[in-house]
Structure 1
Amino acid sequence: MTSPDLPTTRRPDALPATPAEERSSTRPHLSDGAPFRRAVVTGGAGFLGSHLCSELRRRGTEVLCVDNFLTGTPRNVAHLLGDPGFRLVQCDITDYMHVPDEVDLVLHFASPASPVDYLKLPIHTLKVGALGTLHALGLAKEKGARFLLASTSEVYGDPQVHPQPEDYWGHVNPVGPRGVYDEAKRFAEALTVAYRSENDVDTAIVRIFNTFGPRMRPFDGRAIPTFIRQALAGEPLTVAGDGSQTRSVCYVDDLVRGVLALAASGHSGPMNIGNPHEQSVLQIAHDVIAATGSSSSVEHVARPVDDPTVRRPDTTLATQVLGWEPSISWRTGLDRTVAWFREELSDDASRVA
């Protein structure tokens, strides 16, 4: 689909190495075949966090998974619970957290991330962005660890520049309903940069664009899991507005690969990770109907306040610095996600019965 004509900006060049980046180059990194020894993943039982835990263990990194299970669930990491290199701890990162022994990577992924969650939990969302980030950065400082903040494309708001490069400052309504999430992440970015400049912590910021895949919650309010759940139930797919607004969706395996490549690189970011292929929400709905073999129709509903009109990452920096680009097509990722939802919803129905 052709997007509205919006201004573009020049792609920023990679920044020169800082003392923190130079120190990080002496640590064994995933990119050169040697894994981080021990990682802490906040929000590790969530959708993205659980996939990160799985991939880190596959690469040989010991993982401490921290989650309060407010939006995550132990079921997402159940396959790791018998692994001696994995530990799950129920903890709210907005409280102080002590971690014994060495840590050389902190991945801060704790936060409500869907509109359903952060509209229901506005104060907690802000606390995770502020206090949670402060505590996670404090842990990285204490341990001399590499720190990576999971930020979001929401920092660009309803963008007036398209596609969105990292040097675009965004178009965000701080007092709108999405402001609690947008500003929590923008504050978290500022705090991360402050810890880097004042405390010389080895930090990185990844701006994550729309991601989908197994372990998404059927009722989390985001378009793809909602459409799949509705299609499998034979219900109308509820498309906001006329569906012409665009999204760029990345399969979770590609996203995880990009995040860990950034962690291993020593680069500070911010760096966009997402799929630069753009399509309309209406097209996504029709593709879901086709992938599920559903007879569902499309039902148009009111668009949410401050719903972005366009959303597509400029991933030039990730390609130049990391050699990263997505490799899993939308259709392949969708088929895998639909297959997971079929099984998950069938299991849920069996448990209820």
Structure 2
Amino acid sequence: MRAKEQGQDGQRILVTGGAGFLGSHLCERLVGQGHAVTCIDNFFTGSRANIAHLLDHPRFTLIEHDVTEPIDLEVDAIYNLACPASPPHYQHDPVHTTKTSVLGALHLLELARRRAARIFQASTSEVYGDPQQHPQSETYWGHVNPIGRRSCYDEGKRCAESLFMDYHRQWGVDVRIVRIFNTYGPRMHPEDGRVVSNFIVQALRGEPITVYGDGSQTRSFCYVDDLIEGFVRFMAVEDAFPGPVNLGNPGEFTIAQLAEQVIALTNSASPIVHKPLPADDPTQRRPDIQLARDKLGWQPAVQLREGLLRTIAHFEQQLTVPLA
């Protein structure tokens, strides 16, 4: 199966997980830049609604496919975003999550090797586990429980990074590895279990805001447009720099602060309730993005309040119809 003919001066680009939250924004950006984009998704967590506005575009092709199986396409570049990324989703079928990360990486690296294509790996800050270094820089090896409930995702992504670097060293494949920190924005699934979507949906519905632990654990929240800008900049760098590179917003907030801000911005009367902290849940998460500044000239531009207002507006619209 082949992608549609590339646009003038554009590339043939494959985006796996392209109907997901991040993938749909990336596909939209790449089509807008004049590239011919082939989106692959198995629709486990992705949604056709996320890419509905692209389906009739002459430079966009959708293929329903699971990356645990090989695929052969004529491509110039590959973005690998295929993998469920929220705990409820990746823990639903942990064996398949690991297969998606590891077999998916292997099959796509083979495709990149055959086609001499540049390939991007969407890794995660979860490779740092519950970090003992703060903030986390790319030189930190992490503190991960290899047999915990989160390990299907954490170790799957760590193994994928290993494969990417081995293909780079052994066969000269042009790889780009990004470690993504907490990202939010329109097209998040309202039931994905991530903290921003959880809080906004609960606040808009007038339900109690669920805070795990005492709320003192910290996260850094990057708006989706900023993240996609980092992706595109990294893939445009011509020197063979594989990364990994942290992409995220270095602004650090406690979960309690996030809950209070969401309540204020939604004018909600929702109370805050506390539940036990899940196993292996990181207590601190903040990226050191100096490498991204130096190599990509990148840093986030959207402040949390502005990004939350945009995301709240999206969910207000989504919640006017019954949730699937």
| TM-score between both structures, scaled by the size of structure 1 | 0.88
Assess if the C-alpha contact under 8 Å between 1:36 and 1:105 holds in 2. no
Matches for 1:166-245 after TM superposition, within 5 Å: 166-245=138-217
Matching residue of 1:75:
49
- Alignment of 1:41 onto 2:15: yes
Assess if the C-alpha contact under 8 Å between 1:35 and 1:59 holds in 2. no
Count of aligned positions: 315
- Alignment of 1:59 onto 2:33: yes
Match of 1:128 among 79, 100, 112: 100
CA 1:331–1:82 in structure 2 vs 1: closer, same or farther (change >3 Å)?
A: same
Q: Which has the higher contact order (CA 8 A, sep 6+)?
A: 1
- Alignment of 1:289 onto 2:263: yes
1:36 CA drift (Å): 4.9
RMSD: 1.2
Distance (Å, rounded) in 2 between the aligned partners of 1:136 and 1:348: 37
SS of the residue aligned with 1:180? helix
Matching residue of 2:4:
none
Cα-to-partner distance string for 1:109-164 (whole Å, 9 max, x where unaligned): 00011000111110011001111111111111111110000000000000000000
SS of the residue aligned with 1:176? coil
Distance (Å, rounded) in 1 between the aligned partners of 2:212 and 2:285: 15
CA 1:273–1:36 in structure 2 vs 1: closer, same or farther (change >3 Å)?
A: farther
Match of 1:301 among 275, 284, 291: 275
Matching residue of 1:261:
233
- Which residue identity does 2:204 align to in structure 1? L
CA 1:36–1:316 in structure 2 vs 1: closer, same or farther (change >3 Å)?
A: farther
Distance (Å, rounded) in 2 between the aligned partners of 1:344 and 1:329: 23
Distance (Å, rounded) in 1 between the aligned partners of 2:9 and 2:84: 29
Work out the percentage of aligned pairs sharing the same amino acid: 54
Matches for 1:335-350 after TM superposition, within 5 Å: 335-348=309-322
SS of the residue aligned with 1:348? coil
Cα-to-partner distance string for 1:266-310 (whole Å, 9 max, x where unaligned): 421000000000000010011111111111110011110011000
1:348 CA drift (Å): 3.0
Give the unaligned 5+ runs of structure 2: 1-7
Matching residue of 1:271:
245
Give the unaligned 5+ runs of structure 1: 1-33
Moved over 2 A (4+): none
Matching residue of 1:141:
113
1:48 CA drift (Å): 0.5
Matching residue of 2:305:
331
Distance (Å, rounded) in 1 between the aligned partners of 2:9 and 2:290: 26
| TM-score between both structures, scaled by the size of structure 2 | 0.95
